[in-house]
């Protein structure tokens, strides 16, 4: 039963593996051909693709129809002890797709599959007790499930084990073990793991820093569409870290990330346009990309968009909008925004004058090390009244 439960030997199982590894186009390709032959796992994966809009245009009615087809075979298979069918039932009950949502049924079917060492079910049980997903547990049970799946060769389980060792979730921190497990998943082609390996070599905390190795792993992940890796490659080309400085290459990678909706990529692409790095300087294009990032909460974009609105860089000058963006960034603890907002209140610039409120924001900025705020606090706000000796 162990060999059967964890063999990735047919297109239905391969489509599930691809979907779980976020290789959505490949998952769809594999699932479509296998679903037509009646493979219930492929039918389930195709249903998930249409339901989620990952790998195909979202089409919930089509997704529900494929899930129904899957359940027609998965349910009797699960009843007869097939762990693949038990996993499908668990996923359907957890998600409330076609069948009424039931955490009790979800957990029960996962447990049945997990007892047969079916790795995808072990990972789902790990997620259910993962403190990072709001379980309220200490993470030890979660780690135990992830580790069992990882030892069975499951790439998703391997990534979760790597993460647990990296951050100390349910186990003592061990950066070297984190790298080992991330690398196992990365070598199976999991882009998120490739990005994580790149980050470890980039940071140089648990292994000697190796920018070239970091860049190689980032490039593998970026080639699969991983937006974080694309953004990191952009930063490496921009700074000349790991590669010779190449502004056009940096912009190309930032654009790849930005066009996927990745906020940091959008912010950095805005920077490229604002500064004319590798592209013709274009404040309007810069503002458009900053806005996309700022609306997702990217704090540096919020501050920069506020500054552009205040000073009139690009096609707009709007002090009211500037205040809104400075306020949003300051609320996230952005020190420069706190300082600017404080000055605006003290001076009554674009807001009603309120010195107490202004001083409050300036002090917040100073506590974070903002040099101008610290100087203002020292020389004016906390300075002894004139005429008083020491």
pLDDT digits (tens, 9 = 90+) for 175-229: 999 999 999 999 999 999 999 999 999 999 888 999 999 999 999 999 999 999 9
| Strand intervals (E) in the chain | none
Q: Are 137 and 108 part of one and the same domain?
A: no
What does the alpha-carbon distance between residue 43 and residue 15 come to, in Å, rounded to a whole number? 10
Q: 3-state DSSP call for residue 86?
A: helix
Q: Are 162 and 196 part of one and the same domain?
A: yes
355 belongs to a structural domain: yes
Q: Are 251 and 286 part of one and the same domain?
A: yes
pLDDT at 140: 94
Which pLDDT tens digit goes with each residue over 156-186? Answer: 999 999 999 999 999 999 999 999 999 999 9
265 belongs to a structural domain: yes
User: Which of 194, 223, 252 is a domain's end point?
Assistant: 223
pLDDT at 35 over 90: yes
Residue found under tokens 């470890």: 200
Q: Are 279 and 372 part of one and the same domain?
A: no
pLDDT at 116: 98
pLDDT at 4: 37
Which pLDDT tens digit goes with each residue over 277-321? Answer: 999 999 999 999 999 999 999 999 999 999 999 999 876 789 999
The mean pLDDT value for 336-362 works out to 97
Which pLDDT tens digit goes with each residue over 233-259? Answer: 999 999 999 999 999 999 999 999 999
pLDDT at 322 over 90: yes
CATH number at residue 231: 1.25.40.10
Q: Are 95 and 164 part of one and the same domain?
A: no
Q: Are 326 and 351 part of one and the same domain?
A: no
Band (3; pLDDT cuts 50, 70, 90): very low
pLDDT at 131: 85
Which pLDDT tens digit goes with each residue over 38-93? Answer: 999 999 999 999 999 999 999 999 999 999 999 999 999 999 999 999 999 999 99
pLDDT at 388 over 60: no
**Which residues span the domain enclosing 214?**
129-223
User: Which of 316, 332, 348 is a domain's end point?
Assistant: 332
120 belongs to a structural domain: no
pLDDT at 151 over 50: yes
pLDDT at 386: 64
User: Which of 292, 309, 332 is a domain's end point?
Assistant: 332
The mean pLDDT value for 137-161 works out to 96
Q: Are 216 and 253 part of one and the same domain?
A: no
pLDDT at 206: 82
321 belongs to a structural domain: yes
65 belongs to a structural domain: yes
End-to-end CA distance of the chain, in Å?
A: 84
DSSP secondary structure letters along 225-290: T-HHHHHHHHHHHHHTSSS---HHHHHHHHHHHHHTT-HHHHHHHHHHHHHTSSS---HHHHHHHH
C-alpha distances in angstroms, 331 versus 68, 70, 323, 327? Answer: 47, 48, 12, 6
Q: Are 202 and 95 part of one and the same domain?
A: no
C-alpha distances in angstroms, 168 versus 131, 132, 138, 142, 281? Answer: 11, 11, 10, 12, 45
What does the alpha-carbon distance between residue 176 and residue 306 come to, in Å, rounded to a whole number? 42
Q: Are 300 and 369 part of one and the same domain?
A: no
pLDDT at 80: 98
Domain count, the chain: 4
pLDDT at 99: 96
- CB of 112 within 8 A of CB of 84? no
Q: Are 274 and 199 part of one and the same domain?
A: no
Q: Are 303 and 348 part of one and the same domain?
A: no
pLDDT at 5: 40
Q: Are 207 and 231 part of one and the same domain?
A: no
pLDDT at 135: 65
347 belongs to a structural domain: yes
234 belongs to a structural domain: yes
The mean pLDDT value for 353-379 works out to 97
306 belongs to a structural domain: yes
pLDDT at 9: 52
Band (133; pLDDT cuts 50, 70, 90): confident
pLDDT at 385 over 80: no
């Amino acid at each position: 039963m162990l060999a059967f439960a964890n063999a990735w030997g047919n297109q239905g199982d391969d489509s599930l593996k691809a979907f779980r590894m976020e290789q959505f186009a490949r998952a769809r390709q594999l699932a479509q051909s296998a679903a037509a032959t009646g493979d219930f796992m492929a039918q389930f994966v195709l249903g998930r693709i249409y339901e989620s809009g990952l790998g195909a245009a979202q089409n919930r009615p089509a997704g529900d129809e494929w899930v129904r087809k899957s359940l027609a075979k998965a349910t009797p298979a699960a009843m007869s002890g097939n762990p693949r069918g038990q996993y499908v039932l668990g996923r359907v009950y957890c998600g409330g797709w076609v069948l009424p949502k039931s955490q009790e049924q979800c957990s029960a079917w996962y447990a049945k599959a997990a007892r047969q060492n079916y790795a995808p079910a072990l990972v789902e049980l790990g997620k259910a007790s993962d403190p990072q997903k709001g379980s309220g547990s200490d993470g030890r049970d979660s780690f135990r499930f992830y580790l069992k799946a990882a030892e069975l060769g499951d790439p998703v389980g391997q990534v979760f084990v790597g993460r647990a060792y990296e951050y100390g979730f349910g186990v003592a921190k061990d950066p070297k073990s984190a790298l080992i497990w991330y690398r196992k998943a990365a070598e199976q082609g999991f882009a998120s793991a490739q990005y994580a390996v790149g980050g470890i070599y980039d940071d140089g905390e648990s292994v000697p820093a190796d920018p070239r190795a970091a860049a190689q792993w980032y490039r593998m992940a970026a080639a699969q569409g991983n937006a974080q890796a694309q953004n990191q490659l952009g930063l490496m080309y921009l700074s000349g870290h790991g590669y010779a400085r190449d502004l056009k290459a940096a912009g190309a990678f930032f654009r790849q990330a930005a066009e996927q909706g990745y906020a940091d990529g959008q912010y950095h692409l805005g920077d490229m346009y604002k500064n004319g790095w590798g592209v013709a300087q274009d404040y309007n294009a810069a503002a458009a990309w900053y806005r996309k990032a700022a609306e997702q909460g990217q704090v540096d974009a919020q501050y920069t968009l506020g500054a552009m609105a205040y000073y009139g860089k690009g096609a707009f000058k709007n002090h009211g909008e500037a205040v809104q963006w400075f306020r949003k960034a300051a609320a996230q603890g952005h020190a420069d925004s706190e300082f600017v907002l404080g000055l605006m209140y003290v001076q009554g610039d674009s807001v009603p004058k309120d010195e107490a409120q202004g001083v409050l924001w300036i002090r917040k900025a100073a506590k974070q090390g903002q040099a101008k705020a610290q100087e203002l606090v020292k020389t004016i706000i906390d300075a002894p009244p004139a005429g008083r000796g020491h």
